[in-house]
Structures are given as C-alpha cells and as structure tokens.
Amino acid sequence: MLDIKISGGTVVDGTGAPAREADVGIRDGRVVAIGEVGEDARDEIDARGKVVSPGFIDIHTHYDAQVFWDPDLTPSSVHGVTTVIGGNCGFTIAPLVPEAGDYLMRMLARVEGMPLESLAAGVPWNWRSFGEYLDRIDGRLAINAGFLVGHCALRRVVMGDEAVGREASPQQIDAMAKLLGESLAAGGMGFSSSLSPTHNDGDGNPVPSRFAAHEELLAMARVVREHAGTTVELLPGVGEFDPKNRELMIAMSLAADRPLNWNVLICNAMVPQLAESQLAVSDEAARRGARIVALTLPQVMTMRVNLRTGFLFDTLPEWPAVIGMPLAERMRAMADPDVRVRLDAGARSEGAGIFSFLARWHELTVDETFAPVNDGLAGRKIGEIAAAQGKAPFDALLDIAIADELRTSFLTQTFGDDAASWKMRADSWHDPRTIIGASDAGAHLDMIDTFACGTALLGAAVRDRKLMKLEDAIQQLTQAPAQLYGIRDRGVLRSGAFADVVVFDPDTIGVGPVHTRYDLPGGAGRLYAEAEGVAHVLVNGREIARGKDLTGDRPGTLLRSGRDTDTVHASDRA
C-alpha cells in the first residue's frame, strides 16, 4: 500500500520535459510510481486542475540562525521550497568560540538585517565546531537544509580581533584551512566568502573576509577540493568586476575544481553593459577549464531602507562613521546641521557609486512609521512631505527617522520594471551561465521581499508575462540547483527520488501582500508574505503545508556533504 497518492494532476517533473497528466505514488519517503497508479494509499491528494512538481530548491538563503526559533523555515516552506542552502556570503554562526559569539551576532544584525534582540534571545550560541552546530539542528527541520562554512566565522575563530583590519599570516591561513577541512568533513556543504563593499560589521568596519588576501581565499578553495560533494560561493563585489577579482573567481574555481556560484546578477536595461560584463567572466572561465555561475533574480526587487541598520547607507562616503555609532549618539549626530551637510554631500559624491540613487531623497517613499508625530506619512514621498513642511528633503527625511528612533522604513525607487529590463531578465534565465535564485531568505528581514522568488517567477513572469515556459521555469527552480550543488535524488519527480513535492494552482500561484509580521524572538518584526495558489507541500513524503497552514510535521533532512551530495567538478557542464 502507498503512503500517499497524488491523483489527477499535471506532472511537471523538473527535467524540462513536457507536462503530462499522471498520478504520483509515494512510499517510505520516495516516489515509487508516476503514471496511472491503481494501488491504494493511506492518504490521497486530489490534484485535478493543479500542477504537481518537485519541491523548489533555494541555494541562497541565510537561515543559519532562524533554524533555532523557526524550524519550519517560513516563509520559504509555505512557498513550495523544500530544500535550502544557508551559510552564504561568508556569514555563518559556526564554527564558534565563546569570545566570537558577540561579534558574529552584531555582524549578522548589521550586514544581514537580522534583529539583534532575536539573535540574542533565539540562538543558544553553545557549540564550538561546525559539526556540533549541525548536530543541534539535525532532526528538527520541516524542510531539507544544508549549510556552507562561512569565511568570516573561520577568520574570527582563528584570528580573534585581528580578523578585522589585517591579512592572515601563513600560520593563520593553515589554521583556517584545518578548521575548514574539519567543518567540511562534518557535513559543511562548501565554502562561502564576500569581498563586497556593502558588507560591514556591527562596528561599521569591513567584515573579516574583506581583509583576506587572494592567497588566503585560494587556500580555502584548495581545501574544498579535498572533500566530496562540496562547492564554492562568493560575493565578489558590486558593479563591474575588478580585473583582480575576475582572476580570483576563476582561480578559486580551478583550485577547488568546483563551479563557483556568485551573487547577484541584476538585469536593468538602463545599464545593459553591466550584466554583459559580469557574465563575460563565465566565458573566460570556461575557456580555462573553470566554471562560474551567476545567481539571478526572477523578479523586480522592492527595497526598503532604514537608518537603524544603515545597510547600503554605510557604503556612502562620510556615512560609515555615523552609522557605526551607538543608536543615541547616531541620532544626535544626524540632528546636527553640520553632520547633515557632510552626509548629504557624501551621498551625492562620485564615490557613492551605484548607490548614489539613495541621495534622491525627494523620491524616497515613507513605508512604515512608528511615532505618533509621523502618523499619516506612510505612502507619501519625501519631496511632497518636505514641501508641505517647508524643509529640504534630506532634513525632512532625517527628522522623520529620528522621531521614530531610526526605525522608519523608506521605499527606494523601483528599477527594472520596464519591458526592456524584463526582456533582459528573461534572457538571463535561459542563459547557461546563470541560475535563478538569490532569494536571501532569512536575511534583510526589514528590507527586501525576494524571499518568495519561486512563486514570484511562476506567477508574475510565467503566467502573467509569459516570459518562460512553465516546464523550463520548474526546471530552473528544481533540477538546475540540484545539479549545480550535486544534491542527490532531489529536484526531479522520478521513481526512486525523494518525495519532495509541490502541488499548486497555475492560475493563482503567486505572492500575497507583503507586510510586517511581529513573530521573532524579542518581539521583533520581519517582512512576510503568504503564498497564493500553493495547495500542498510535501518533504520526504510527508505533508508539511496545506494551503496557507503548516501541519507541524518536520521531516526535513539535514543535508551533509558527501553523504547527501555528489561532487560536481568545474569541468562539468549543465
């Protein structure tokens, strides 16, 4: 007898093959039959009028801390995601030593927008090795999850305070390599790092990985090569790649003998040459026997910024010192007319680079306020408010933020929502040098809404704009990431594969309204959206979500490299 039979649905199996009407039989956590299934089952799901596909695989999340207070890993799990990879961009909470915990906590709060009070109240911080961290969460999760080993934690454990501001000595590099090897042997999925100028720690300084010499990064890549089923992920910067970083990316792929996945390719018709330039490194890598794959978003990013975390603002000239101040001191500084002049000038200067758009203060829209004096401002542009108050736009913005103790969120301009940018985006999805992803789920909880990129792709891009065939979109969300990371027996619906399954209505699938949900430890909030049109989500043959409701079952597998993954070599092609 089957455990579950999914009857009468349209099966899109993840391989890109044409959709077909079929039943799906599941027993002992795996798919055992696809077609006309006559065998009885203990439970049956009526999928008539719905699509039955593999569960979505999201390879770029930051759920490393959230696993402790939300083992269901929402909202990903209710949006059809059945497998995630965390530990990206060099940011993990393992390995750990007691003296590193406070630094890593404050770093994550600053660089990844995780509320500090939630990190303090919701994470035990009581392990040492990466393996001990994995053991803490093994057997507790609703969905499958694997975690990369972050460069910043390695540096902080080995170098202590010297991790910030200094290159590592040969002895320290050897110690990091040894620690990375132990972490990968315990099941770490690979190595991740960041060189991005957008990544600063809780003190306003560049995060530890940004001080690494290229030889240090290559040494870590060589360790990856020694461990089966591992990979490499890097955030190389923003804008056009520096020639040295282009060479580094290729060298890391060759040293590790793994594909190098980088984040994130932004498609915008206003600067088409940027995406073309960034993708060119993949061509050069291929000529030299390496492989570089860009993560690309399937949606327009709606971005909220605030002056409490200061993310992005701290990349602007004159801003880091102020953003790095304690809250009360920062508010006093931002009220000082002389400081305001310097901050405004820095944001408008040539050194602001691609983030100079933030200085168009009049175009920012107030998204959410907290102080009674700011009632009625939400939804209005700063320029309009400033004119009514007889102030300069920058002064109006800072006065609003200070009244809210810098918690005010502002919506930036939305870029890339024009037809030409959507065309660029769609072209990138079909490009073998890219893979769809970059959700950042679990991070930037007050800033971005890309956590539901799978349902966004299937709704807005596939159904509404008809930019991609359903079968191709499902393949990009399932088989493609599984193949890139070597995740065994997942990402396709076939006999013998794990029964990670999503049943959804293709006519209604999408993302519900984005709102702030106050359900984090310490009473903190996060941006959240329900899934629309997702009827059932199964992980390892057990239902974890039915409509908008979680079942409470937690059958997810803690993925460990080598045991649950196969080695994907740099020379392997999709």
Q: How far is Cα 479 from Cα 467, in angstroms, rounded to an integer?
A: 19
> Which H helix or E strand runs over 425?
helix 419-429
pLDDT of amino acid 415? 81
pLDDT of amino acid 473? 98
The SS3 of residue 34 is: strand
Tens place of pLDDT per residue across the chain (574 aa): 999 999 999 999 999 999 999 999 999 999 999 999 999 999 999 999 999 999 999 999 999 999 999 999 999 999 999 999 999 999 999 999 999 999 999 999 999 999 999 999 999 999 999 999 999 999 999 999 999 999 999 999 999 999 999 999 999 999 999 999 999 999 999 999 999 998 999 998 999 999 999 999 999 999 999 999 999 999 998 888 999 999 999 999 999 999 999 999 989 898 899 999 999 999 999 999 999 999 999 998 888 999 998 988 988 999 999 998 999 999 999 999 999 999 999 999 999 987 899 999 999 999 989 999 999 999 999 999 999 999 999 999 999 999 999 999 999 988 889 999 999 999 999 999 999 999 999 999 989 999 999 999 999 999 999 999 999 999 999 999 999 999 999 999 999 999 999 999 999 999 999 888 999 999 999 999 999 999 999 999 999 999 999 999 999 999 999 999 999 999 997 6
**Dihedral sign computed on CA atoms, order 519, 521, 524, 525:** negative
Domain boundaries, the chain: 57-303+415-447+474-488, 304-411
Q: Could you tell me the two tokens for 387? A: 């004119």
CATH of domain 57-303+415-447+474-488: 3.20.20.140
173-198 core/surface letters (b: 16 or more CB in 10 A; e: else): bebbbebbbbbbebbbbbbbbbbbeb
> Tell me, what amino acid is at 363?
E
pLDDT of amino acid 36? 95
Annotate 373-423 with DSSP letters as a single string.
GGTT-TT-BHHHHHHHHTS-HHHHHHHHHHHTTT--EEEPPP-S-SHHHHH
pLDDT of amino acid 401? 98
Q: How far is Cα 322 from Cα 513, in angstroms, rounded to an integer?
A: 34
Q: How many residues does the chain have?
A: 574
Contacts of 111 (CB under 8 A, 6+ apart): 91, 199, 200, 201, 207, 311
pLDDT of amino acid 574? 64
CA dihedral defined by 490, 494, 499, 501, rounded to 10 degrees?
90
The neighbour count for residue 299, using CB atoms within 10 Å, is 24
pLDDT of amino acid 414? 83
**Dihedral sign computed on CA atoms, order 89, 310, 315, 282:** positive
Helix, strand counts (H, E) of the chain: 17, 25
